[in-house]
Structure 1
């Protein structure tokens, strides 16, 4: 089994400005800081088509249900890799190194009337008998919360530009 999520996020800015924001390491670091990660490393190569983004972050496991903490421990290392095939499309892979599961998906950007819409779609798979589907739901909720946080930071970032 797997869990699918789809989020539609908007920015009051043209697509080029949103793409430039997503290519800015300072923006990605600001998102990590806003989420209160323990430590993080952001690497971005290129821009537009061919851009590669890796956000390697460690978050506390505080507040997650006990059935999940015995699998992840006190800290959760999350590695997000984006491969942009154009200025509007990216493939995304999110892993928790050493843990049995994966999140794969896509990001697409489109502009209408000066507003850019970001559509994020993911499929989450956790291969742990009995509790895998519960953990998939938990990860889906955490991922949705993280994407909404990124959108909030992004809207503020673009308003200051």
Structure 2
């Protein structure tokens, strides 16, 4: 299932990139999503977040009460205007669920935006597409939550 998510930020791409590759921000964002045990590693080129979050009710029967998620994002060097391209991968260890796609951080008239564009795949015979449809809103909400948390972080950091 193809997913696209865009988050706008009131800051230039360099500042947004610094935020989304900051371990404190990533841990804070995971906590805001309900994780109490996030493990985070970040450099300016790569981030990895592993976190347990409450399972969405729609898929709880398939995966249990908590969902362990690993999100890895890589970032290329910036272009002249600050734009950066990257990749994003989300996996659920022990479950046949993956999202593989691209990330684009680009300047806008009011700051910048990050666009995630990827394909969600659930490899379960006969039920895969149904589980994808149920999981997609949760993944999109996680991206949206990262945007909300990021905008608040930027306001706080001034």
What TM-score, normalized by structure 1, do the two folds share?
0.88
Secondary structure (helix, strand or coil) at the match of 1:80 reads strand
Cα pair 1:38 1:60 within 8 Å, conserved? no
- Give the superposition deviation at 1:86: 2.6
RMSD: 1.4
Structure 1: gaps (5+ residues): none
Counterpart for residue 89 of structure 1? 85
Counterpart for residue 81 of structure 2? none
Residues 8-23 of structure 1: matches in 2 within 5 Å? 8-23=6-21
Residues 87-129 of structure 1 deviation map (CA, whole Å, 9 limit, x = unaligned): 4111111100111131101110111335101111120011112
4+ residue stretches of structure 1 with deviation over 6 A? Answer: none
Secondary structure (helix, strand or coil) at the match of 2:136 reads helix
Cα pair 2:11 2:111 within 8 Å, conserved? yes
Counterpart for residue 127 of structure 2? 131
Residues 1-161 of structure 1: matches in 2 within 5 Å? 3-45=1-43, 47=44, 51-61=45-55, 63-65=56-58, 68-87=59-78, 88-161=84-157
Distance 2:116 2:5 in 1: 5
Secondary structure (helix, strand or coil) at the match of 2:112 reads strand
Cα pair 2:10 2:151 within 8 Å, conserved? yes
More divergent stretch after superposition (79-88 vs 18-27): 79-88
Distance 2:13 2:53 in 1: 30
- Give the superposition deviation at 1:34: 1.0
Matched residue pairs, number?
A: 152
